[in-house]
Chains A and B, each alone.
Chain A
Amino acid sequence: MAFIDIRNLTKKFGATTALCKINLRLEKNKIYGLLGRNGAGKTTLLNIMTNKLIPTEGEVLIEGQCVKENDAVLSRIYCMNEKKLYPESLTVNEVFYWSQKFYSSFDQAYAAELSQLFGLKTRKKISELSTGYSSVFKIIVALASNAEIILLDEPILGLDANHRDLFYKELLKNYSINPRTIVISTHLIEEVSDIIEEVIIISKGKTLLFDTVENLLSQGYTVSGSSTAVENYIAGKNVLGVDSLGGLKSAYILDQLNRAELPEGLEISKLDLQKLFVHLTNSKEVV
């Protein structure tokens, strides 16, 4: 039995189909990346998984128990939403206090420690937080919730480079101490590619791809070198994209590498996940 079993999930908003027959089986204690372009249905999926939206068809099961209107199951999931859902008049400290009341395993001391680390002023009201600090605040609540399943919807929205770095470090530290199932929905794919173990790509409300990062990256490679050598090499190959810098070029190729035909002077590295994502979401027909 899958830990999280998403069965035939469909969500319609009037005439618009946001999700169409999504089927996913997520395992326990893994970190998943939920990728998709704007309007692909990522937030809708996360909202259905946490009972914020009611599915038109299908269901989400956690260890066989349906999430819909089930307080016991819902208490095992925390979803950090991109949208502001906390009362604006509450202070950060008050949210920590009430989160502990709703999530019995919420760690207030850890929340305070993270607030200090990120420089979040806990006496501030939610309405007074900037976009970046609003994300920091929600990240802290999510990490300190100690829920078995943590869903993060665009967690790094508005975060500066330092805070993003800090977030990834804390997420991994938290995960290594207390393994759990984490789903990260984000646009900054390259940044999370080292953290996530499996990738779910949804496009136009349908599952486009669900695979391990390792498998995905093994489908292609990056070749770098002088512009002329790279151009000669990639001629006739399935090229996802090319980056140029001065006289140097990097080309992203979706194909198996044949080292025998690789000319001297060219370097091979792993495929760029972002480039692969753009290619897949632009060209592939969803199934």
Chain B
Amino acid sequence: MRLKTLIQYHLWDYKRAIMIFYGIIITLFIIFAIVNLISPQRINVSVGGLEIASIIFIFVAGVASFTEIFYFSLINGVSRKTQFLAFTGSMFSLAAIMAAVDSVFGFISLRLAEVQNLFAVFYGAKYQGVASLQLFVDRFLWMLVIYTLIAITGYLISMIYYHSNKTTKLIVSILPPVFFIIVLPLIDSMTSFKIFAWLRGLLLRMLGLYNNVNPYIAIFSTLVAVAIVSFFNYLLISKAEVKN
């Protein structure tokens, strides 16, 4: 019962932000559609704009979901394991809602303007001549897992910061950018650029873009990543305490 209530609270908490977010998106789509209708030439709307915007939104939602709701849940006698399940459940629900809305927007917008989306850019080749329903379903599933992964990663980052003292926060903030921007390219150049080539290959395989185009591989890889991040989320929340 508490699990259900906490999921309801999470979704209630996001409700206003989602309405504002999609209010802006709808307004922009209407403006683009009107401009496109009255313009003598069809215009191109930015590639993957909606998915990128949704990814940023859900990442922020994930980051913002920890401290406040953790305290609120504790004062209402909700255990950490229930909190973990409620967060994962609510983020999956939020991701499903957003993926569904984005899929519908994507479907409608294709008929209103020359809109490209991230999924079409990656996997468009697979759907040449295929019924649009399959494209709709596959795109929805792809967005669902991607959005879920992004949201729970935001939550993980928020918890890492919560557990860290000032020094650890500084290290956590500086070390990854320094590693990826300076150290890794340096090592890469010293090893005849094999590291980045290997990473590129790995990423393409995980995204189902190596040799042929297969979004189901991307969905599977993302699900594995969701499981790994969730495992760390559970570890961190099970050790989290109210700060004195």
Contacts and interface: CB of A to CB of B under 8 A. Distances in A.
Interface of A: 13, 43-44, 47, 50-54, 69-71, 74-75, 77-79, 81, 83, 85-87, 98-99, 101-104
Contacts of A53: 241-242
A78 B78 CA distance: 11
Interface stretch (B2-10, B38-46, B140-148, B154-162): B2-10
A102 to B, nearest CB: 4
Given A52-B242, A85-B242, A87-B72, A71 B8 contact: no
B81 interface: yes
Contacts of B75: 52, 79, 81, 85-86
17 contacts: A43-B244, A47-B241, A47-B242, A52-B242, A71-B79, A74-B77, A77-B77, A81-B242, A85-B75, A85-B242, A86-B72, A87-B69, A98-B72, A98-B76, A99-B76, A102-B2, A102-B77
B241 A54 contact: yes
A51 B68 contact: no
Contact of A75 (B74, B77, B244): B77
B68 A71 contact: no
Interface in B219-244: 239, 241-242, 244
A140 to B, nearest CB: 14
B210 interface: no
B136 interface: no
Contacts of A43: 244
Interface in B4-37: 5, 8-9, 13
Given A52-B242, A54-B241, A102 B5 contact: yes
B205 interface: no
B93 interface: no
B71 interface: yes
Nearest to A102: B76
Contacts of B239: 54
A79 B242 CA distance: 13
A50 B244 contact: no
B5 A85 contact: no
Contacts of B81: 69
Given A47-B242, A53-B241, A87-B68, A71 B78 contact: yes
Nearest to A94: B12
A85 B2 contact: no
The 6 A-B residue pairs with the shortest CB-CB distance in the complex, in nearest-first order: A74-B77, A102-B76, A85-B71, A52-B242, A85-B75, A69-B79
A86 B75 CA distance: 8
**Which of B1, B72, B77, B239 counts the most chain A CB atoms within 10 A?**
B77
Interface in B56-90: 68-69, 71-72, 74-82
Contacts of A85: 71-72, 74-75, 242
A138 to B, nearest CB: 9
Nearest to B12: A98
Nearest to B73: A102
Contacts of B77: 50-51, 71, 74-75, 77-78, 102-103
B239 to A, nearest CB: 7
A78 B13 CA distance: 23
Nearest to B13: A87
A44 B242 CA distance: 10
Nearest to A18: B244
B76 A51 contact: no
B117 to A, nearest CB: 34
Interface in B78-134: 78-82
